[in-house]
């Protein structure tokens, strides 16, 4: 950097994406500016009842809103762009830089929520250079499971930071090559800190090329005479292109089910990323007009999401498609951590309805990950040759294994930083040290409320889900300090209402506790605490459960 630039230590931290798969949001900050890299969601498993998305808590960005200058997007997957509608309604984002496909997907999402007008979106490519105050940002193409995926090089007054984004080193990609030469040049010039995708750090070797999946898809189409229903991620554009290509070659009409899949295919076709003639696409309501061996149905729901298209089809709730014997359902995606139970449930439901179900296996290579395995991680580390290394995008064990890989390549252990969300590194004069953590956390989105639910609400939901609820209603006369309505107990998910001797014993214990307490003229808060204590102890002794106990006190007074 030029010598006349004032030195400002640079902080690097994540508000999401560390210790988890999803919710990616990384920040680079100095005294003057904050730039954000990605703003994603994490999709909840069954442990988050009623929740649609989990997003980062942007409290630190809100507290420093005047410093936020730009949001940079690496690619168009939901775990990198899904949080944008919530972020832009929480704080002002002056400009969003995104590659072409990601920009179109973001615009569509913001348009659906009628907030597109408040956002300035600028497209970038591999030749773009962006200056944000003292930060200079350049881009290099990587190969991933969606077109227009990029890593970034951020030059600062204190040194150079490179982040790979999500990637694998696919030498026969569906689309442009990984710009390995550009990455090598950056490494030769000197990289102070590398952030690199850790999702497949536990898997040795190379991740198979996306083109390896093509032969497996062709085998499925060659061998199946009934309807073929394929479920994959709507954002896995490379996979969808291959599936459509094979379907057209086998003279099958393509019906697309699921709003996100429909929109992703529409946008990708308009840009030429998915090439399929109009004559091969049919509407879902026209499925009944074609023979079974003339149909391919593409749908969302490969993770077993209850409201996705595949779940509605499996449960007989879709208006245009019902499973019939002879159908073959293909899951062309791997399970996101936490979704295994939901996927097993839908596989069983589909099988019970008469479908043959094909999931990923050694004999049926119908999914290739979009993330680098250990040999590719070694290659990138060798090419970049960073002084300091921060594994990104992954659960803790993935981050640790990635750091261990870096150490085998000569990066000192003390120069490898395994961080949690909120932990901070400081880059100053080409040296990286740990800094003070920033405020962070999770926001749980239920519906479209941008404020979300705080963690304490989720604790209550888990208690209700796991241990049930017990409500206890009483009536007291505050004037005479007497019990005028004895306890009435209501339970949900605990003990069958009205048929348990245990409930009657609990009621008697509560009544005696209340009568004893009323002798001392207690406050309502004291009464509620005593009710919760005696009822909670009794229920735990009987069931080994800690239900949510809700005392309800009705009063009669002057």
Q: Average pLDDT per run of 10 along the chain, which is 558 residues long?
A: 67 95 94 96 70 86 95 95 92 96 92 86 96 96 93 96 95 89 96 96 89 80 91 85 91 91 90 90 92 92 79 87 90 71 86 86 54 96 97 95 97 96 96 94 71 61 71 87 87 67 86 88 87 88 83 79
The alpha carbon of residue 67 and the mean position of all alpha carbons in its chain are separated, in whole angstroms, by: 27
Residue 216 and residue 198 in one domain: no
Q: Is residue 461 part of a domain?
A: no
Q: Is residue 442 part of a domain?
A: yes
Q: Is residue 254 part of a domain?
A: yes
The catalytically annotated residue of 197, 327, 423, 467 is: 197
DSSP readout, 490-540? EEESSS-TT--HHHHHHHHHHHHHHHHHHTT---HHHHHHHHHHHHHHHHH
Q: Is residue 37 part of a domain?
A: yes
Say which CATH number the domain at 336 has.
3.40.50.10710
| Count of CA atoms in the C-beta half-sphere (13 A) of 129 | 3
Q: What pLDDT sits at residue 465? A: 67
DSSP readout, 332-397? -SPPPTT-HHHHHHHHHHHHHTT-EEE---SS------SS--HHHHHHHHHHH--SEEEEESB-HH
Domain stops at, among 358, 391, 422 = 358
Residue 328 and residue 248 in one domain: yes
**CB 208: neighbour CB atoms within 10 A?**
15
Q: Is residue 231 part of a domain?
A: yes
Q: Is residue 337 part of a domain?
A: yes
Q: What pLDDT sits at residue 459? A: 64
Tracing tokens 């997007």 back to the chain, one arrives at 73
Residue/partner pairs of 432-441 with CB below 8 Å, 24 or more apart:
432/192, 432/193, 432/387, 432/388, 435/11, 437/13, 438/11, 438/13, 438/15, 438/60, 439/57, 439/59, 439/60, 439/63, 440/15, 440/16, 440/56, 440/57, 440/59, 440/60, 441/56, 441/57, 441/59
Q: What pLDDT sits at residue 364? A: 46
- Residue 318 known to be catalytic: no
Residue 285 and residue 342 in one domain: yes
Residue 421 and residue 481 in one domain: no
Residue 190 and residue 220 in one domain: no
Give backbone dihedrals phi and psi of 342, rounded to 5 degrees, phi first.
Answer: -65, -40
Domain stops at, among 358, 377, 398 = 358
Percent helix, percent strand, percent coil in the chain, to nearest 5: 35, 25, 40
The two tokens of residue 322 are: 């019902």
**Average per-residue pLDDT for the chain:** 87
Residue 158 and residue 199 in one domain: yes
Residue 297 lies in domain: 212-358
Residue 128 and residue 218 in one domain: no
d(CA 28, CA 32): 11
Q: What pLDDT sits at residue 363? A: 39
φ/ψ region of 393 (left if φ > 0, alpha if ψ in -120 to 50, else beta) reads left
In percent, the amount of the chain with pLDDT more than 70 equals 90
Residue 19 and residue 118 in one domain: yes
What's the Cα-to-Cα distance from 341 to each of 52, 304, 357, 447, rounded to whole Å?
17, 8, 16, 23
Q: What pLDDT sits at residue 271? A: 87
Strand partners, 453: 444
The catalytically annotated residue of 318, 371, 393, 402 is: 371
Number of domains forming the structure of the chain: 3
Residue 330 and residue 352 in one domain: yes
Say which CATH number the domain at 532 has.
3.10.20.580
Residue 406 and residue 312 in one domain: no
Residue 40 and residue 126 in one domain: yes
Tracing tokens 């339970």 back to the chain, one arrives at 491
Tracing tokens 């080409």 back to the chain, one arrives at 430
- Residue 197 known to be catalytic: yes
Residue 223 and residue 274 in one domain: yes
End-to-end CA distance of the chain: 78
Domain stops at, among 406, 432, 456 = 456
Q: Is residue 2 part of a domain?
A: no
Say which CATH number the domain at 127 has.
3.60.15.10
Length of the chain: 558
Q: What pLDDT sits at residue 3? A: 47
Q: Is residue 1 part of a domain?
A: no
Tracing tokens 């881009």 back to the chain, one arrives at 139
């Amino acid at each position: 950097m030029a010598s006349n630039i004032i030195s400002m230590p640079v902080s690097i931290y994540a508000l999401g994406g560390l210790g988890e798969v999803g919710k990616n949001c990384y920040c680079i900050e100095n005294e003057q500016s904050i730039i954000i890299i990605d703003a994603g969601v994490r999709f909840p498993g069954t442990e988050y009842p009623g929740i649609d998305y989990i997003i980062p808590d942007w409290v630190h960005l809100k507290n420093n809103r005047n410093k936020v200058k730009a949001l940079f997007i690496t690619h168009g997957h939901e775990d990198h762009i899904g949080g944008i509608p919530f972020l832009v309604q929480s704080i002002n984002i002056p400009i969003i830089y995104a590659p072409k496909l990601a920009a179109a997907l973001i615009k569509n999402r913001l348009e659906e929520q009628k907030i597109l007008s408040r956002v300035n979106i600028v497209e970038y490519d591999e030749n773009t250079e962006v200056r944000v105050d003292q930060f200079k940002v350049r881009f290099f193409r990587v190969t991933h499971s969606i077109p227009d995926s990029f890593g970034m090089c951020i030059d600062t007054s204190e040194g150079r930071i490179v982040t790979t984004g999500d990637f694998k080193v696919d030498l026969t990609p569906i689309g442009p090559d990984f710009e390995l030469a550009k990455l090598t040049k950056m490494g030769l010039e000197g990289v102070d800190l590398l952030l690199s995708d850790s999702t497949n750090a536990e898997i040795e070797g190379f991740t198979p090329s996306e083109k390896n999946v093509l032969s497996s898809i062709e085998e499925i189409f060659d061998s199946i005479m009934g309807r073929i229903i394929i479920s994959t991620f709507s954002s896995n554009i490379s996979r969808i292109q291959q599936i459509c290509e094979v379907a057209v070659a086998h003279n099958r009409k393509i019906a697309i089910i699921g709003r996100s899949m429909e929109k992703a295919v529409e946008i990708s076709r308009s840009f030429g990323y998915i090439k399929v003639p109009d004559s091969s696409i049919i509407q879902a309501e026209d499925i009944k007009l074609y023979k079974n061996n003339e149909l391919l149905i593409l749908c969302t729901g490969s993770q077993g999401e209850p409201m996705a298209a595949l779940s509605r089809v499996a449960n007989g709730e879709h208006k245009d498609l019902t499973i019939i014997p002879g159908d073959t359902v293909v899951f062309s995606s791997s399970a996101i951590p936490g979704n295994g139970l939901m996927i097993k449930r839908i596989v069983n439901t589909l099988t019970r309805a008469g479908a043959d179900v094909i999931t990923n296996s050694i004999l049926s290579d119908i999914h290739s990950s979009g993330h680098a395995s250990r040999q590719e991680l070694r290659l990138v580390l060798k090419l970049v040759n960073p002084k300091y290394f921060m594994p990104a995008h992954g659960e803790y064990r993935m981050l640790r294994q990635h750091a261990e890989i870096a150490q085998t390549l000569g990066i000192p252990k003390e120069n490898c930083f395994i961080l949690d969300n909120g932990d901070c590194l400081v880059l100053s004069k080409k040296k990286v040290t740990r800094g003070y953590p920033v405020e962070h956390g999770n926001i749980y989105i239920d519906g479209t409320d941008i404020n979300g639910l705080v963690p304490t609400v989720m604790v209550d939901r888990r208690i209700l889900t796991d241990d049930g609820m017990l409500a206890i209603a009483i009536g007291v006369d505050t004037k005479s300090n007497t019990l005028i309505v004895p306890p009435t107990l209501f339970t949900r998910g605990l003990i069958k209402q009205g048929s348990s001797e245990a409930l009657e014993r609990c009621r008697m214990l509560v009544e005696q506790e209340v009568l004893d307490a009323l002798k001392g003229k207690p406050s309502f808060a004291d009464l509620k605490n005593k009710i919760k204590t005696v009822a909670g102890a009794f229920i735990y002794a009987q069931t080994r459960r800690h239900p949510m106990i809700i005392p309800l006190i009705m009063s009669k007074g002057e």
